[in-house]
Amino acid sequence: DGGITQSPKYLFRKEGQNVTLSCEQNLNHDAMYWYRQDPGQGLRLIYYSQIVNDFQKGDIAEGYSVSREKKESFPLTVTSAQKNPTAFYLCASSARQGGINTGELFFGEGSRLTVL
Amino acid sequence: GQQLNQSPQSMFIQEGEDVSMNCTSSSIFNTWLWYKQDPGEGPVLLIALYKAGELTSNGRLTAQFGITRKDSFLNISASIPSDVGIYFCAGQLNNFNKFYFGSGTKLNVKP
């Protein structure tokens, strides 16, 4: 079945450690996104990528890094510079036509990161 | 980032009742999306709207893209217990490739 796979679903990290969250999609979508979700808040955009080997900062990129070496993969690294990393992280993807996203954003099941 | 104002924040209703929630923005969007999220899961797309004034249904769900392109609403008719969850609106700015989200409406349905 086509979809977006995030791993791990749960992750615990000690302060000062970097962690990488995986996101893989087999939908053949060009655009991929990382969002952060905190209780009582909407989803906030961390990074997004419109095409392989290219990505842009979202609204809360500080303390995070990404890479887009393959179309189907968009891993997110939460670095030790992120002051409050405990959150639910969601990866998403969308198709593009004519340089503009088609407007349907599909999500993975999320990864919950807890800093101990 | 862009702010989407979604209301109400939460609702407690009786099974069988109809529900309405809405989102407004200070910016013009070219796409409005409505999602449902269950606890610990990713949001699932319910309805996508692409034209001002568009009214689209998906089963008991109906959503509309506001004429001004700055708002959208979602109605759920004859609610059932499995409608419980958090509903999010999302908008895509014209000629941009980012999606912005409302803060969600938490729906509780009493059997």
- Which residue from A36, A22, A26 is spatially nearest to A90, judged by alpha carbons? A36
Contact A107 B42 (CB under 8 A): yes
pLDDT at A99: 57
Burial class (CB in 10 A: 0-12, 13-18, 19+), A62: exposed
Cβ contact (<8 Å) for A58 and B1?
Answer: yes
The C-alpha R_g of chain A, in whole angstroms, comes to 14
For B61-90, write each residue's pLDDT tens digit. Answer: 999 999 999 999 999 999 999 999 999 999
CA distance A22 to B70: 35
Chain B residues with at least one Cβ partner in A under 8 Å: 1, 4, 6, 30-31, 33, 35, 40-45, 48, 50, 88, 90, 92, 95, 97-104
Question: Mind listing the pLDDT tens digit of every residue in chain B (111 residues)?
Answer: 667 899 999 999 999 999 999 999 998 898 999 999 998 899 999 999 989 999 999 999 999 999 999 999 999 999 999 999 999 999 987 656 788 899 999 999 998
> How many beta-carbon pairs under 8 angstroms link A with B?
70
For residues A40 and A36, give the distance between their C-alpha atoms in angstroms, rounded to a whole number.
Answer: 12
Of B31, B42, B95, which is closest to A103 when you measure between CB atoms? B31
Instruction: Return d(Cα A56, Cα B70) in angstroms, integer.
Output: 25
Instruction: Report the amino acid identity of residue B91.
Output: G
Q: How far apart are CA B30 and CA B44, in angstroms?
A: 20
Q: Does A11 touch chain B (CB under 8 A)?
A: no
> Which residue of chain A has the CA closest to B103?
A42
Of B35, B41, B97, the CB nearest to A101: B97
Residue A27 contacts by C-beta under 8 Å, 6 or more apart in sequence? A2, A3, A4, A93, A95, A106
